[in-house]
Structure 1
Amino acid sequence: MSPQETPSSLDVSADSNKNASHDEQQNEPKPTLWNRIVAFYWENEFLIHILIAILLARAYPPIGATYLAPDITATWLVVIFIFVMAGLGLKTSEFSNAFKQIRFNVLVQVYSFGVCSALVYGLSRGLEAASILSEDLANGMVICASLPMTINMCQILTKASNGDEASAVFNSAFGNLIGVFLSPLLILGYLGVSGDVDLVKVFYELTLRVVVPVLFGQLLQKTAPPVVEFYKKHKKFFAKLQQFGLVFIVYTVFCKTFDKESQSSIGDIFLMITFQFISLVTLMTGAWLLLSFAFPNQPKLRVFGLFGCTHKTVAIGIPLINSIYGDNPSVGLYTLPLLIWHPTQLLIGTALSPRLAKFVEREQERLGIHESDDEEPPQRQEDVEASSHHEREDDNGEVSTDINNR
């Protein structure tokens, strides 16, 4: 400190600097309406694309139901691409670590198949007994709750929420594989309906769509360094392709739905929206409380578990319902609860993604959890919306976003 600089003069200088900084902040122009609209779009890009896809499907269903060959493009090509990318981005050690989480994996699968179906069965029987729902709609709720979790949607939402992606890939693949056998048994056990389901064919197709692509991605990771380098260099691009792949699947599903004559009234649809929303929120709340009790110091697992415990798949559900009830005139009513549950879980998951990402960051700071030395430190998860912001990915393929870099 110079002789002429007294503590009081320094305080005055500091106060002047603070005032100047405050004045500068006040003089900054407020964002225009257009800027706010653009910011809202980037913060909700994924959800907006989903809504646009549904509206386009409603406007002219034959495009996605027939002309785009959804049985090939959406059911096979897009799903295979997503899981090749998953296998390419995951280290073998991560996948093996996910497999070793036996207690967690068992909890997720038991909740997904057992708890969900039992609670919804009780609710549906009560609603039927009270003459609020018809028997067909009540049965449709049970069928929906007996299905396995989603595959690509669960993985993408987990990634966007900074959850455990390795556990998401393992549990979604494993859940769908056992669901091929377990879901029909649950449905027949609850409803006492018989039907012919080609389990061998469904199991074979799931293996080709899920297991083989993940293994192929892992093989590329170990044997093709140029491919791995190209993937790492363009991770943001491939992540965006995965996002649009999911939007495409949703578009084709709704095109197929709108392309067929609906057997449901407006009243049925509103009843289903109400009760499926209540069921989903209740089950998600129960899953979160259970996961918080069982895994208090593993926030990434809890985030994936929230999705894995409660998501239900259209990709398996629709073919399964058609296989069991294809000749039943009530098949549309059996399908309706699933078609409502599916977008509802997507909308809720998309809305929760940024909050869950911030939760993981806070919990890791509190617990002193750091990434391994060969990985980049986790980036701050600010307003994450289903992988739709500017993405910075580490060596594990986990998405970290920063809207300030946009």
Structure 2
Amino acid sequence: MGAAVGLAWLFPEPGADGGWMHPDLLTKAGVALVFFLHGVALPFAALKAGTLRWPLHLTVQSCTYLLFPLLGIAMLAVIGDRLPTGLRLGIFYLCVLPSTVSSSVALTAAARGNVPAAVFNATLSALLGVLLTPLWISGYLGASGASLPVGEVVLDLVQWLVVPLAAGQISRPWLGAWIGRHKPLVHAIDRGTVLLLVYTSFCESVQRGVWTGHGWGALIGTGIGCAVLLAVALGVTSTVCRALRFSEEDRIAAVFCGSKKTLASGVPMAALIFGSNPDVGLILLPIMIYHPLQLVVCGVLAGRWARRAAPIESAPSTLVAGKSISK
């Protein structure tokens, strides 16, 4: 991501509006490719297996689309005008994004949590985000006197996110095995496409001089805000799960799915929601800070939870010299 931003700073013309890379077309093609690959890689059996844990699902989705937006509103009320307009919108955009898919599932598996529930919740979060993310953004912009054509945005998101995702899922019987054999290549295409979208998003911002006058203070303030959001989300999610007496496996899935925010979907969604808004680089900055932060913190938690004691299983024993010895 740092390299993509650096290239945009040095060479903004190709990826800016009117550049030879045609970012208006490239963005939509990249979004469709990313979600098609997600659809092919999504195991339907695991998704189906996780459908019945509704208290867990309601907890995760409430954290993603209710707790986080309310935290964002409270944080922005405290921040006031201390950050640029684009960064304030970016913080709220971070708060209303869906959860991640791949990393939530991977961390849940590493921590010996409920993987089918993680798959289901991460996928459900992505689908709900097509409607709820633009609705929250519309409400935020409306409160500040701006507007967002919600119907057009949702239709655009359905066309370029949901349809390719469904097409990938339908083609899974034919392409799933190939995807499984070439995971490094698919991963490189997926991440490379996202980085390309990051580059074109920042090109427009640099070209229009959006970053002029914003020093390290704004960057540090955004980083502190992201750390506070992550800490509160982790704490609240875990506390709620304990209060509801979830199993340890369910709590792990809820904490990882309920506290994570997606960069892989956030960048393409920003391109569709905010269009040619010159502040899109500033809008993306919070999720670009939050993304690596959540991976580091949740990676540490996954390692700690993976080392917890396994359930004690009864072992057959034999009697030797009057003493029971387990085999």
Aligned to 2:189: 241
Change (3 A) 1:359 1:173: farther
Write the distance in 1 (CA, Å) between the matches of 2:264 and 2:176. Answer: 31
Residue 206 of structure 1: which of 139, 157, 168 is its match?
Answer: 157
State yes or no: 1:362 paired with 2:310.
Answer: no
Contact 1:140 1:336 in 2 (8 A): no
Relative CO higher for 1 or 2, CA cutoff 8 Å, sep ≥ 6?
2
SS of equivalent residue, structure 2 residue 145: coil
Structure 1 or 2, whichever has the larger Rg, is 1
Unpaired runs of 5+ in structure 1? 1-49, 369-406
Aligned to 1:304: 257
State yes or no: 1:291 paired with 2:237.
Answer: yes
Unpaired runs of 5+ in structure 2? 110-117, 313-327
Aligned to 2:33: 81
Change (3 A) 1:84 1:126: closer
Deviations 1:132-154 (A, max 9, x none): 7278478646743564337xxx3
Contact 2:15 2:203 in 1 (8 A): yes
Aligned to 1:402: none
The offset of 1:354, in angstroms, is 4.4
Change (3 A) 1:135 1:262: closer
Aligned residue type for 2:290: Q
Residue 124 of structure 1: which of 47, 72, 76 is its match?
Answer: 76
Q: May I ask how many residue pairs the two structures share in their alignment? A: 295
Aligned to 1:175: 129
The offset of 1:314, in angstroms, is 4.5
State yes or no: 1:253 paired with 2:180.
Answer: no
Change (3 A) 1:115 1:266: same
Write the distance in 1 (CA, Å) between the matches of 2:136 and 2:51. Answer: 20
Identity of aligned residues (%): 16
TM-score of the superposition, structure 2-length normalised?
0.74
Deviations 1:209-257 (A, max 9, x none): 22212221221224x3xx3332222223212222222222222222222
Deviations 1:167-222 (A, max 9, x none): 3233123223222223312442xx35253x33222112211222212221221224
The offset of 1:367, in angstroms, is 5.6
Contact 2:47 2:120 in 1 (8 A): yes
Aligned to 1:271: 217
Contact 1:124 1:139 in 2 (8 A): yes
Q: Note the aligned Cα RMSD (angstroms).
A: 3.5
State yes or no: 1:338 paired with 2:286.
Answer: no
Aligned residue type for 1:209: W
Deviations 1:269-307 (A, max 9, x none): x33323322221112112112232315433244223221
Contact 2:156 2:272 in 1 (8 A): no
The offset of 1:313, in angstroms, is 3.1
Contact 1:53 1:251 in 2 (8 A): yes
Contact 1:85 1:217 in 2 (8 A): yes
Contact 1:146 1:187 in 2 (8 A): no
